[in-house]
Structure 1
């Protein structure tokens, strides 16, 4: 990390660092189907996420069941079912023993991205609603990052509450001079988190970067509609991919 950074780039994880269409979203679908014999489509999940209130996939599962008119299970029971699909074992156990959908998560970045950020003078970290074992697994074991700055589920209130974003920025930005914090996410809730942080801490420059989740990249019409929702929610810049953030950094440096 830069020794006295004035600029910080924070990342969501799901849909930004890894593709979760075949894991978290699949677990959401399987959990809803387990309780209702109805499997929500990817577009129905996108529509729900587009409301900006359902960043937590356990709560999203319950909400889909409610809207479908299905009896609602006890929340802890649903969490156990969801975890069984996603981890396929004890989340606190060694990842070698996991047999669930977590094994089907293509990476969307490589470790060189964070070296590039450092070279541009940007500090970086992660603010995600992912469960801590899952987040640490992708960042530390799969990407090989050494003790990456991370706020995960349970470390702060769920987005769009900006507490996690503010805590991470205050931890990593020690300079008393003007500072910039950019956050890259893939949902309306991510955009709203930045907008709320801007209202609560206007002395910093807050920038909302957004990217459509990977499962939409092969569907231009649906992708454009999703990106339009992100812009309408207040995103400052739409990126073509997470790795394209380096192009944004270079253009920002020229301004």
Structure 2
């Protein structure tokens, strides 16, 4: 399940895509454009981000029907349970349709317990590292991939921020897989930087709604096409 170049992050907190059918359609388009895996935030029938078994299962089943063999992952953001780590664990224990991977943010309460639970169930864990000081939290845990996530950062500072987290992971002795990406203004500079470093990255409506020239992106397919082109050029 190693990602070599691009993972598509289809929705995040955006209002679209939300339904299982829309997620499946966007996933299929992203994969056609070159995405090697997809990451989604499933919704309940009212459109709220959800960790409920029925909502996770519906989204994953729809995506797998149109993208057979493509790894599909989900968020475990604690905001979906109002900040309650015990409620989050309880909901995830109820999952009957399991994702191939799940992202868990290091800074959220209950991080280590959730990593162990998911790994024991056979779900690969991506640890979201947002700051250098968080790098040591991965030690001794069954984390498949570290996500170097540069958030709320101006474009001009994105590379410096990413390199600081990468250096901290080195210093902490983390030698597992790494994926580098940014959100909003930091998104496109870090697609280029990831290519230069030979690290996989991600792109999708979760991270940005605009193309490199600032024009609105028509969907995840166009974002993946542009990102893959930029990453490949930078990797030469």
Question: Considering the TM-score relative to the shorter chain, is it more than 0.5?
Answer: no
Larger strand proportion of the pair: 2
Pick 1 or 2: higher relative contact order, CA cutoff 8 A, min separation 6. 1
Structure number, greater radius of gyration: 1
What is the TM-score with the length of structure 1 in the denominator? 0.32
Scaled by the length of structure 2, the TM-score of the pair is 0.33
